Amino acid sequence: MTAAYAVSVRALVAMLVTLNEQIDFLHGQVEVYFGRHPDAEIIRSQPGLGPMLSARVLAEFGDDPHRYTSAKARKNYADTSPITRASGRKKVVTARFVRNDRLIDALIAQAFSALRISSGARAYYEKQRARGIEFNAALRQLANRLVGILHGCLKTGTPYDEAAAWSHRAHALAACTPAHG
C-alpha cells in the first residue's frame, strides 16, 4: 500500500509542477498582450490592480471608448452602484443581484487590495465603516468609487493620481490630471 501511495503522490506532484509551469506561462502571455493595449498604462495605474486583475477588468468592461457615456453608466454595468427606489415618503436602497460575477469579483478584489496601498481608498472605506456600513457593503462602495475614478481616467486618457482622486468627491474625472511634458 505504501508503495502505491508513493507512486500516486509522485504522479500528483508531477502534475502540479506542470500545472504551475503552465500558469506561469499564461501569466506571461496575459502581461505581454495586455501590455500592448492602448489603455494598459491607465488601467494598471489604478490602486489595487495588478497585471492579472487589470487584464480581467479590461476584458469584462470591454474597450469601446463610447460604450459608457458616463461614470454612472459604467458603475451600473459593473453592478457596484446601488438601486434606489422611492415612492412617496418611502425610499429603499438595495444591492444589485443580476450582475457580471467575474467583473464584480475583480472589482471587489481591487477594492480590497487598494485598502493596503492607497491612503485615500483606506480613508474612504473607514468613513463608510464609521457610518455603520458593514464590511462587504463598504467594500462595494469603495469599488463603486474606484470604477468612477477609472472611468474618469479612461475618459481623459490619463493615469491615476492619488492626490487628485481623493482630494474631493465632487467628480470622478478629477482623479486624472493631464500629463505635463
Residues paired with residue 83 on neighbouring β-strands, in sequence order = 94
If asked whether residues 137 and 171 sit together in one domain, one would say: yes
The pTM of the full predicted model, rounded to 2 decimals, is 0.77
Average pLDDT of the chain? 86
For 45-77, the pLDDT digits (tens) are 999 998 899 999 999 999 898 899 999 989 888
For 20-50, the pLDDT digits (tens) are 999 999 989 888 889 899 999 999 999 999 8
Residues of the chain above pLDDT 70, percent:
87
Q: How far apart are the first and last CA of the chain?
A: 71
If asked whether residues 96 and 159 sit together in one domain, one would say: yes
Strand locations in the chain (E): 83-87, 90-94
Q: What is the pLDDT of residue 181?
A: 39
- Domains in the chain: how many in total? 2
For 74-100, the pLDDT digits (tens) are 988 888 877 777 777 777 666 656 568
Counting beta carbons within 10 angstroms of the beta carbon of residue 22, is it exposed (0 to 12), middle (13 to 18) or buried (19 or more)? exposed
All three cell numbers of 30 = 496575459
Interatomic CA distance for residues 107 and 65, integer angstroms: 19
Confirm whether 181 is domain-assigned: no
Interatomic CA distance for residues 144 and 175, integer angstroms: 14
**Domain housing 4:** 1-36
